[in-house]
Amino acid sequence: MPTIIKDARAFTADRAWGARNLALVEGASVRLHWTNQPYAWHVNNGREVFVVMDGAVEMRYKSGGTESRVTLNAGDIFIADVGDEHAAHPLG
């Protein structure tokens, strides 16, 4: 039976980076996060995919010791590979 999620844009959490677990896909968790606060710089041991559903997020990432930033708007996707240092900062 397929899973159909029609209320994703309306999701909110009781705290910044609160999450709703959606699925496990080949051992990787798929989660819907809500936030109004930045997340700390971090590195994952697996790929991480960010899909902005509403609003805007400034993704900060480091490559070769240099910090870069990109603004993601609704519909944009950012994929952090294994070892990519990154931090998400919601705008507005």
User: Quick check: 92 pLDDT over 80?
Assistant: no
pLDDT in tens, 5-27: 999 999 999 999 999 999 999 88
Q: What's the pTM value of the predicted model, to 2 decimals?
A: 0.86
pLDDT classification of 46: cutoffs 50, 70, 90? confident
Instruction: Please write down the HEC assignment for all residues of 12-71.
Output: CCCCCCEEEEEEEECCEEEEEEECCCCCCCECCCCCEEEECCCCEEEEEEEECCEEEEEE
Residue % of the chain over a pLDDT of 70: 100
At 56, the pLDDT band (50, 70, 90 cuts) reads: very high
